[in-house]
Amino acid sequence: MAQQPLPDSAPGIQVFPQFAHLYDMVAPEVEGLTDAQLDWDSDRWEWAKWNIRRQVSHMASFIPGWLLRQWGKELFPQGFEELGELTELVPVSPAPTVRWLDETKYQDMPTILGRLDKALQLARYVLARETLGSMGHKEIPRPNTPPHWPQFVKAHPTGVRWHPTEHLFTYITLEATFRHLYFEVITHLYNVQRLKRAQGLTATVEIPYEGYWALPDWDRSEA
């Protein structure tokens, strides 16, 4: 997120410049890893229950899931045809029970990374059509907000509000959605690094210490 206050007219990509560089953070971190290293997991730590392959696959899955399933009607009221080749990202309905890509189609890391690249292209496409002001005014309801969001909300200074009477019912703006997507990517990238260190491997990139994984009550345990 921007360090200096921006006017409401600021382009979306200026508000969230990280989306131009996230792929270049993720790809080097998994470069050269063997299948055994990509698939290592452990029940000893919560963060190690998903292996590296699934951590990256989740990144590629949740970005279009948010922008096209949850925000699709608001962002593309005329349909998704304008997305061209990015229409292949349109999620299936109903939502899958797993939180990563279909592993019968997206198993090898280059294919998963290709999907992540397209997901980030989609994010930049949406940002190019928005401003700080428009993203702050657009809002969707979330009547079934997952129970971990009371913790997530602590990382959002604006853009998420609770329903006055309904339990686990929130409203989220498009601005907070993009903040969430960014925080999710770097938090799962942090998990990738922990999974590498647990196998005696060295982390490659430096992750900004912000967002979810920087919360005071976040589990930052290591192997």
pLDDT band at 202 (very low <50, low <70, confident <90, very high): very high
Domain-embedded: residue 1: no
Domain-embedded: residue 206: yes
How high is the pLDDT of residue 27? Answer: 98
- The predicted model scores a pTM of 0.95
Asked if 143 and 120 touch (Cβ cutoff 8 Å), the reply is: no
Is the model's pLDDT at 2 over the cut of 80? Answer: no
Domain-embedded: residue 39: no
Domain-embedded: residue 144: yes
How many domains does the chain divide into? 1
Q: In which domain, by residue range, is 137 found?
A: 12-30+46-214
Q: pLDDT tens digits for 103-136?
A: 999 999 999 999 999 999 999 999 999 999 999 9
Domain-embedded: residue 4: no
Which residue in this structure is represented by tokens 């509000």?
161
Domain-embedded: residue 7: no
Q: Where are the alpha helices (DSSP H) in 65-108?
A: 72-75
Average model confidence (pLDDT) across the chain = 95
User: Is residue 117 classed exposed, middle or buried when 0-12, 13-18 and 19+ CB atoms within 10 A define those classes?
Assistant: middle
Domain-embedded: residue 184: yes
CATH code for the domain in which residue 83 is found:
1.20.120.450
Domain-embedded: residue 183: yes
Is the model's pLDDT at 1 over the cut of 90? Answer: no
Question: Rounded to 10 degrees, what is the CA torsion of 13, 210, 42, 105?
Answer: 0
